[in-house]
Chain A
Amino acid sequence: MIAQFFRRLAPVGLPGKLILGVVASVVLSLASPAIAQSTSAFSLNGFGTFGLARTTTDDVEFVRDISQARGVGSEWSALIDSVLGLQAAWHVTPQFEAVVQATSRYRYDRTFTPDISWGFVKYNPTPNLSLRAGRLGTEFFMMADSRWVGYSFLTVRPPGDFFWYLPFYSIHGADAAITVPLGESVLRAKTFYGHSDGRIPLADEQWDIAGSPMVGAFLEYQYGPWLARASYANIRFKNDLPVAPVLKKALGIDLSAQDAAFLATRDTRTDYYSLGLVYDQGPWQAQLMLNHIEQGSNALQCSDGGYALLGYRVGQVTPYLGYSWVLSKARGTGPSAVTAYVMQDSRADQQTTFAGMRWDVVRNVALKAQWDAIDGESSSLFPYRQDNRARWDGRMNVFSLTLDFVF
């Protein structure tokens, strides 16, 4: 079975070194005390996941989010959830800090080529005010900037119906966060502005979103075990979706100028609204998240999504149960059969019931197993890759196993 993973991985260019690195890191994290505990000016930390997943269909490929060019089908694969990250921080003074993080994960170009996920300087003029500038993680939704740190959350991966639409990871820009203590509770506000950085795969093509301006803010209120957050963000796309080359390759059709104009994403704006409520006390963990995405382009459907998650820890094992959903709003067909075909592609209409277990095996290492039952319409295509529209019936099960670690 192991040889099969490697064979499946080989064509996408995963260097065997990554696997070796992951294994070595686990061994290291088990053998040595966490480096994070040092009080010196430099710190080096890392995180990673070795994950396996399979579904019960080959009519579509399941991805973690739409930043991935290919997904998994009915054979076990380590493609979508495996990651290795390293982070170095230099604490120049108590107020100044410089941080750089590199990650290797399956990405838009079908390789595990390492990326600099963030690199920034942080300045805290007062203890409760934080300013950062450089390449920064975006917090479009709650926990969006730690989506790849599997050890930090309960589930195998962030619930897809909520996070699929969020292929944005970083901006070149600045952010400011202020904390205002109100007696026993705490109010926190953050705002960011920058130019997005990255590419999103579309069939064999890539949509370049680099340079698209992004702006956003959130307000968070914490009282004891309760945390509530409301957030807003938007992005104005700098480039059109690569619809023309995709159509040419897939169907041999030339995109007319009129259809291209109708499906334009360039200079359109997408707005993201979200509400989150978290309860975290004793053995209980509960989350409720809602989002609404308003798409400015005819090529993309507006959508509402959300999830509810409940976990209860017994000793070192935390079983959990969740439910997530996403429903997009159809815009009609547009002026031609070609626009109708393209517009169908951004349809999402499905619900997922998931159950799983996190087992904290030893310090800094967790094993997880999860089952997702996706129940949707056959028109629900947006979350997937390589769809066979004639056969896909909207339903599948996903089985996942992960080993998460930090060091």
Chain B
Amino acid sequence: MPFRRLILLCSLFLLLAQPAAEVRAELVVVVNARCGVAAMTRNEVINIFFGRNHQYFNRVEAQPVDLPDAHPDRKRFYSMLVGKDLSEVNAYWSRQVFSGRMQPPVKVNSADEVLKWVVSHPGGIGFVDLAKADARVRVVYELTP
């Protein structure tokens, strides 16, 4: 029946046209489960990822890890964390690097490598999809748009 097919087609279209954000998993900030940090505020996360502060509240050294520009999670992360485009984040780091103040966080290529970094560094901290966060890491902050 053509009418039924139309409905089917319409619902299929609606399903595909869902905003991508709702399909995406949530991004979370994770730390090494043994670093002694249970939760962080947005400003504390910003301070660590922008190199303003290099220690957690318990004085353990924070070792942040980032993703390359080409990875879609990097754009989402900075957009949700500070509302900044990647060009602005890169401009910020070029000021820090060329004034000789500091180097940006190390970059790895995938979410799995982020987890590997966080687990293998006592003060490791990174961002991944909630679904990726396993028992070896602790979720300390959930990013909300």
**A128/B53 in contact, CB under 8 A:** yes
Which B residue's beta carbon lies closest to that of A407? Answer: B94
- Contact stretch, chosen from B3-11, B24-32, B99-107, B125-133: B99-107
Contacts of A127 in B (CB 8 A): 54-55, 61-62
Asked if residues A406 and B90 are in contact (CB atoms below 8 Å), the reply is yes
A105 within 8 A of B: no
- Any chain B CB within 8 A of the CB of A186? yes
Contact yes or no, B100 A282, CB < 8 A: no
Are B104 and A36 closer than 8 Å at their CB atoms? yes
Candidates A37, A101, A222; contact of B98 at CB < 8 Å: A101
**Which residues of A lie under 8 Å from residue B134 when comparing CB positions?**
none
- Residues 247-288 of A, flagged 1 when their CB comes within 8 A of B and 0 if not, give 000000000000000000000000000000000011100000
Q: A36-B104, A184-B41, A184-B44 are in contact. Are A281 and B83 (CB under 8 A)?
A: yes
Residues 80-117 of B contacting A (Cβ, < 8 Å): 82-88, 90-92, 94-95, 97-104, 106-107
Question: Are B43 and A224 in contact (CB-based, < 8 A)?
Answer: yes
Tell me which residues from 109 to 143 in chain A have a Cβ below 8 Å from any Cβ of chain B.
Answer: 118, 120, 122, 127-128, 130, 132, 136-137, 139, 143
B46: interface (CB < 8 Å)? yes
A251 to chain B, nearest CB (A): 42
A-B pairs with beta carbons under 8 A, tally: 104
Over the window 115-143 of chain B, the binary record of Cβ atoms lying under 8 Å from chain A Cβ atoms (1 yes, 0 no) is: 00000000000000000000000000000
With the chains together, A36 CA to B69 CA distance in Å?
12
Bound form: Cα–Cα A36–B103 in Å: 9
Interchain CB contact under 8 A, A224 and B46: yes
Q: Are the CB atoms of A283 and B97 closer together than 8 Å? A: no
For A179, the closest partner residue in chain B by CB is B53
Closest to B85 in A: A313
17 A-B residue pairings within 8 Å (CB atoms): A36-B103, A45-B98, A127-B62, A149-B98, A152-B92, A152-B94, A152-B95, A152-B98, A179-B52, A179-B54, A181-B53, A184-B41, A186-B52, A186-B53, A188-B52, A281-B82, A282-B82
Interface residues on B, range: 35 or more
A378 at the B interface (CB under 8 A): no
Question: When the two chains form the complex, which single residue of A39, A151, A224, A283 contacts B106, counting CB atoms closer than 8 Å?
Answer: A39
A93 interface residue per 8 A CB criterion: no
Is B36 in contact with chain A by the CB < 8 A criterion?
no
Is B43 a contact partner of A184 (Cβ separation < 8 A)? yes
- Known contacts A127-B54, A181-B47, A224-B43; decide if A122 and B87 are in contact (CB<8 Å): no
A403 → chain B closest CB, angstroms: 14
A36, A91, A136, A316 pick with most chain B CB within 10 angstroms: A36
Interface string of A144-171 (1 = CB under 8 A from B): 0110010111000000000000000000
A residues less than 8 Å from B99 (CB atoms): 137, 139, 145-146, 149
- Counting CB contacts under 8 A, is A47 at the interface? yes
Q: Does A389 contact B (CB under 8 A)?
A: no
A101 to B43, CA, bound (A): 32
**Of residues 29 to 56 in A, which have CB atoms within 8 Å of B's CB atoms?**
33, 36-37, 39, 43, 45, 47
Give the number of residues in A that approach B within 8 Å (Cβ atoms).
Answer: 52
Chain A residues with CB under 8 Å of B46's CB are: 224
B91 adjacent to A152 (CB under 8 Å): yes
Q: How far is the CB of A307 from chain B (nearest CB, A)?
A: 18
Instruction: Give bound CA distance, A132 to B69, whole Å.
Output: 31
Pair A363/B90 contact, Cβ less than 8 Å: yes
CB distance from B74 to the nearest CB of A (A): 11
B95 to chain A minimum Cβ distance, whole angstroms, is: 4
What chain A residues lie within 8 Å of B92 (beta carbons)? 152
Given contacts A181-B47, A316-B87, contact A33 B98 (CB under 8 A): no
With both beta carbons as reference points, the residue of chain B lying nearest to A359 in the complex is identified as B87
Q: How far is the CA of A120 from the CA of B61 in the complex (A)?
A: 24
Q: For the complex, what is the distance from the CA of A160 to the CA of B57, rounded to whole Å?
A: 41
| Contact across chains for A87 and B54 when beta carbons are under 8 A apart | no
B6-41 Cβ-contact flags toward A at 8 Å (1 or 0): 000000000000000000000000000000000001
Q: Are B100 and A120 in contact (CB under 8 A)?
A: yes
Smallest Cβ distance from A305 to chain B, in angstroms? 22
A43 lies within 8 A of B103 (CB): yes
In angstroms, Cα B86 to Cα A149, docked, is 17
Contact A363–B68 (Cβ < 8 Å): no
- Any B CB within 8 A of the CB of A185: yes
Chain B, residue nearest A33 (CB): B68
A151 to B98, CA, bound (A): 11
Contact for B54 among A128, A137, A316, CB less than 8 A? A128
A282 contact set on B, CB distance < 8 A: 82-84
- Which chain B positions have C-beta within 8 A of A377? none
Tell me if A205 counts as interface (CB < 8 A to partner B). Answer: no
Q: How far is the CA of A360 from the CA of B104 in the complex (A)?
A: 20
Interface string of B47-78 (1 = CB under 8 A from A): 10000111101000110000011000000000
